[in-house]
Amino acid sequence: MSESSEELTIHETIVLLPAHLHARPAGALVQAAARFKSTVEVVYGDRTANARGVLAVMSLGALAGTYVLLRATGPDAEQAVTTLAEVLTNAQ
Amino acid sequence: MAEPVGIVLVSHSAGLATGLKEMLLQLGGDAAAVATAGGTDDGRIGTSYQRILDAIAAVDRGAGVLLLTDLGSAVLTARAVLADHPRDDVQLVDAPFVEGAVAAAVIAATGADLASVRAAAEEARDVRKL
Residue extents of the structural domains in chain A: 3-89
What is the per-residue pLDDT for A7?
60
- Res. A86: pLDDT tops 60: yes
CB atoms near residue B43 (< 10 Å): 10
Read off the pTM.
0.89
> Cβ separation of B103 and A55 shorter than 8 Å?
yes
Of A30, A34, A53, the CB nearest to B123: A53
Beta pairing class for A10-16 and B34-38: unpaired
Q: State which amino acid sits at residue A42.
A: V
Contact of B78 with B20, CB cutoff 8 Å? no
Measured CA to CA, the distance from residue B98 to residue A4 in angstroms comes to 40
Measured CA to CA, the distance from residue A71 to residue A48 in angstroms comes to 10
- Res. A77: pLDDT tops 80: yes
> Cβ separation of A31 and B106 shorter than 8 Å?
yes
Beta pairing class for B6-11 and B34-38: parallel
What is the per-residue pLDDT for A6?
57
Is residue A58 classed as helix, strand or coil in its secondary structure? helix
Query: pLDDT category, B53, cuts 50, 70, 90?
Result: very high
Q: Find, in chain A, the residue whose alpha carbon is nearest to that of B103.
A: A54
Query: pLDDT category, B28, cuts 50, 70, 90?
Result: confident
Q: Which of B4, B7, B12, B90 is catalytic?
A: B12
CB atoms near residue B107 (< 10 Å): 28
CB atoms near residue A40 (< 10 Å): 25
Exposed (0-12), middle (13-18) or buried (19+): which is B46, by Cβ within 10 Å? middle
Contact of B4 with B96, CB cutoff 8 Å? no
Contact of B29 with B6, CB cutoff 8 Å? no
Q: Find, in chain A, the residue whose alpha carbon is nearest to that of B100.
A: A55
CB atoms near residue B84 (< 10 Å): 9
What is the per-residue pLDDT for A52?
92
Give chain B's contact residues with A (Cβ, < 8 Å). Answer: 23, 26-28, 99, 102-103, 106-107, 109-112, 120, 123-124, 127-130
pLDDT in tens, A10-30: 999 999 999 999 999 999 999
Contacts of B25 in chain A (CB under 8 A): none
CATH of domain B6-126: 3.40.50.510
Query: pLDDT category, A1, cuts 50, 70, 90?
Result: very low
> Cβ separation of B27 and A27 shorter than 8 Å?
yes
Class of domain A3-89: alpha beta
- Res. B110: pLDDT tops 70: yes
- pLDDT: which is higher, A56 or A6: A56
Contacts of A59 in chain B (CB under 8 A): 127-130
